Amino acid sequence: MEINKLNEKAIQSAKPGTKDYAKSDGAGLCLWVTTAGGKLWRWGYDFQGKEKLMSYGKYPDVGLARAREFHAAACSLLTAGTDPMADRKAEKNENNVANKNSFQTVAMAWLAHWRDGKKQAPRRHRRKANEIRHLAGTGCTSLR
């Protein structure tokens, strides 16, 4: 099976047609061209008997080299017996939890609670919010 069939010129020359179509790069990676002119990197694979379709992003946000990197990483996960989409979802959830536990998020929630019912003192509120942003920028990334 031939891989790395596409190049930048072929991708840029892919024009929308009357139907959506795919241009293969080999090894399952393809550029999906929509009738509206969108170009998306996709990979169809089987995991535990189920067909799955994984997207790597929109061209040109994700270039050819980056799409191939994503594809190689996903293929290695599949070879190791891990579902690449489930792995990506778990990683995304971990990042969301880390962001929810960041110093700035928790401190701003505290500030909103502290303000509740207080007499209007916008200058003091702005000062506290600025102090929180300053402290958050000093490298304290998580409260765990």
Structure tokens at 52: 């799955």
Q: How confident is the model at residue 144 (pLDDT cuts 50, 70, 90)?
A: very low
DSSP 19: S
Q: Yes or no: say if 5 and 25 are a contact pair by the CB < 8 Å rule.
A: yes
- Confidence (pLDDT) at 137: 63
CA distance 64 to 51: 24
Owning domain of residue 26: 8-86
- Confidence (pLDDT) at 118: 65
What's the whole-model pTM score? Answer: 0.62
Mean pLDDT of 125-132: 73
Asked if 117 and 74 sit in the same domain, the reply is: no
CATH label of the domain that carries residue 17: 3.30.160.390
Asked if 67 and 23 sit in the same domain, the reply is: yes
Distance, CA of 94 to chain centre: 13
Q: Yes or no: say if 56 and 67 are a contact pair by the CB < 8 Å rule.
A: yes
User: What average pLDDT does the chain have?
Assistant: 82
Give per-residue pLDDT as tens, 25-75.
888 899 999 999 999 999 999 999 999 999 999 998 999 999 999 999 999
Mean pLDDT of 116-121: 66
Asked if 41 and 21 sit in the same domain, the reply is: yes
DSSP assignment string, 61-110: TS-HHHHHHHHHHHHHHHHTT--HHHHHHHHHHHHHHHHHTSHHHHHHHH
In the predicted model, is pLDDT for residue 1 greater than 60?
Answer: no
Asked if 75 and 114 sit in the same domain, the reply is: no
| Rounded to 5°, angle at Cα 104 from 109 and 136 | 155
In the predicted model, is pLDDT for residue 23 greater than 90?
Answer: yes
Q: How confident is the model at residue 94 (pLDDT cuts 50, 70, 90)?
A: confident
* Residue 144 domain-assigned (yes or no): no
Asked if 16 and 82 sit in the same domain, the reply is: yes
